[in-house]
Amino acid sequence: KTGYFTYDPGFTSTASCDSAITYIDGEKGILTHRGYKIEDLAEKCDFLEVAYLLLHKELPTQKQFADYHHEISMHTLLHEQLINFYKGFRRDAHPMAVMVGVVGALSAFYHDSLDLHDPDQRELASTRLIAKMPSMAAMAYKYSVGQPFVYPQNNLKYAENFLHMMFAVPSYDYQVNPVLAKAMNLIFILHADHEQNASTSTVRLASSSSANPFACIAAGIASLWGPAHGGANEAVLNMLTQIADKSRIPEFIKRAKDKNDPFRLMGFGHRVYKNYDPRAQILRASCHEVIEELSVKNEHLLEIALELEKIALNDAYFVEKKLFPNVDFYSGIILKAMGIPTTMFTVLFALARTAGWVAQWREMIEDPIQKIGRPRQRYIGPVQRKFIALEQR
């Protein structure tokens, strides 16, 4: 085991850590969590089963799953004073700005789960983070639209509870549409963990100094926000909306290939996948089902996305550079069909990825020989220079 980052002669930074949580084969487009194929988990699990698997290395038995769901439901409420943090933001603050602030602030409220070296406190911090993310995310949405906060309902499943907090209003008895709940659960599972991506590496590096878990997850949220990473789902929707018509796709493909144009085809390309992202495959298949079952009017966005994919995957530039659709290319179309505003897309990514961040954090903290991360550099600045006093300069 070496230190955290090791620079190889090619000066491409490689995060060198051992992990038993997630395996990706970028050439073959394979993704597994603790040895289980993402396709099986996505089709057959509740999100909390996958969270349990990531954290405890095994899929839960029925009793373990029931106990875990009960444990999580006991921690879905936020300390009431945290509501004041929301009220300090402008209504038009980006919900990710709110999440960075509020998640970091949990450190100021839950003093009995800050000590990483106490296993009970580590467990409590893990449970609180996974339990409270849906409440905090839904509150960020409610605050942005000026509606009252909705408290969690412990009798609901994880994805259902989130949707209830997002869309229920006091004036009538809101029932979560099972199609929405199924799609939300799928989205959460597909975003749960993905090895040592930028935000997970941020969480691991921050945690390596023994900073408290809430502060480290807030650091992960900040890193995920970037449009090159988790912010891409929002950027894909904005791009598809900007394209607006299939006839304009060649213009955007041309721009994406132009080195002098900063425009990138959002939702395409990946640091690891040089084949189709298996998560994108699954989402692509469920797009039609969700749009049909919700009978929403945004199939034109899906048609643009499918045509864009078809043109790009037959274009020499994308083929040679092995640029395929990634998880963000189709997720936004489903989220929009579900009535989720684009500004909330990355918040949902952070909500789901908290299970992976927490699992990766635990794996690192519980490694007895883990040292503080200390990336090195290749110095390319000036060599020793003679100092000249200010008066002579």
Q: Which are the catalytic amino acids?
A: 270, 328
Verify binding: residue 265, ligand SDX, rule CB under 6 A: yes
Select the residue interacting with ligand SDX from 270, 284, 336, 362 (CB under 6 A).
270
CB of 334 to ligand SDX, least distance (A): 16
Of the pair 258, 366, the CB lying nearest ligand SDX is at 258
Select the residue interacting with ligand SDX from 17, 323, 348, 352 (CB under 6 A).
323
* Rg of the chain taking only CA atoms, in angstroms: 22
Verify binding: residue 219, ligand SDX, rule CB under 6 A: no
Verify binding: residue 157, ligand SDX, rule CB under 6 A: no
Rounded to whole angstroms, what are the CA distances from 154 to 68, 72, 135?
A: 12, 9, 12
Rounded to whole angstroms, what are the CA distances from 354 to 81, 127, 194, 243?
A: 23, 11, 11, 32
Verify binding: residue 328, ligand SDX, rule CB under 6 A: yes
**Do 113 and 358 touch, CB atoms closer than 8 A?**
no
Verify binding: residue 264, ligand SDX, rule CB under 6 A: yes
Verify binding: residue 327, ligand SDX, rule CB under 6 A: yes
Select the residue interacting with ligand SDX from 267, 278, 332, 373 (CB under 6 A).
267
DSSP state of 59: P
- The C-alpha angle 367, 372, 374, rounded to 5 degrees, equals 135
Verify binding: residue 319, ligand SDX, rule CB under 6 A: no
Verify binding: residue 197, ligand SDX, rule CB under 6 A: yes
**Do 301 and 287 touch, CB atoms closer than 8 A?**
no
Half-sphere exposure of 349 (CA within 13 A, CB side): 28
Verify binding: residue 185, ligand SDX, rule CB under 6 A: no
Verify binding: residue 49, ligand SDX, rule CB under 6 A: no
CB of 209 to ligand SDX, least distance (A): 22
Binding segment (CB under 6 A) for ligand SDX, from list 11-19, 160-168, 178-186, 325-333 = 325-333
x/- letters, 272..291, toward ligand SDX (CB under 6 A): x-------------------
Verify binding: residue 268, ligand SDX, rule CB under 6 A: yes
382 alpha carbon, distance to own chain's centre: 40
Q: Please identify which residue in the block is written with the tokens 């598809």.
A: 240
Phi-psi category of residue 57: left, alpha or beta, with phi > 0 → left and psi -120 to 50 → alpha: left
Of the pair 259, 386, the CB lying nearest ligand SDX is at 259
Tell me the residue nearest to ligand SDX as measured from the CB: 269
Verify binding: residue 194, ligand SDX, rule CB under 6 A: yes
Binding segment (CB under 6 A) for ligand SDX, from list 62-70, 96-104, 125-133, 226-234 = 226-234
Binding-residue total with ligand SDX (CB under 6 A):
21
CB of 199 to ligand SDX, least distance (A): 6
Of the pair 142, 194, the CB lying nearest ligand SDX is at 194
Binding segment (CB under 6 A) for ligand SDX, from list 50-58, 100-108, 245-253, 269-277 = 269-277
Counts of helices then strands in the chain (DSSP H, E): 17, 5
**Do 388 and 234 touch, CB atoms closer than 8 A?**
no
Identify residue 113 by its one-letter amino acid code: S
Rounded to whole angstroms, what are the CA distances from 290 to 39, 145, 147, 337?
A: 18, 25, 26, 7
Binding segment (CB under 6 A) for ligand SDX, from list 89-97, 321-329, 338-346, 363-371 = 321-329
Pair of tokens at residue 94: 């980006």
**Do 336 and 174 touch, CB atoms closer than 8 A?**
no
DSSP 142-210: HHHHTPPP----TTS-HHHHHHHHHH-BTTB-----HHHHHHHHHHHHHTS--SS-HHHHHHHHHHTTT
Select the residue interacting with ligand SDX from 74, 108, 228, 319 (CB under 6 A).
228
Pair of tokens at residue 229: 């990473």
Binding segment (CB under 6 A) for ligand SDX, from list 51-59, 91-99, 224-232, 340-348 = 224-232
- The C-alpha angle 134, 214, 144, rounded to 5 degrees, equals 40
Residues that bind ligand SDX (CB under 6 A): 194, 197, 228-230, 232, 256, 264-272, 321, 323, 326-328
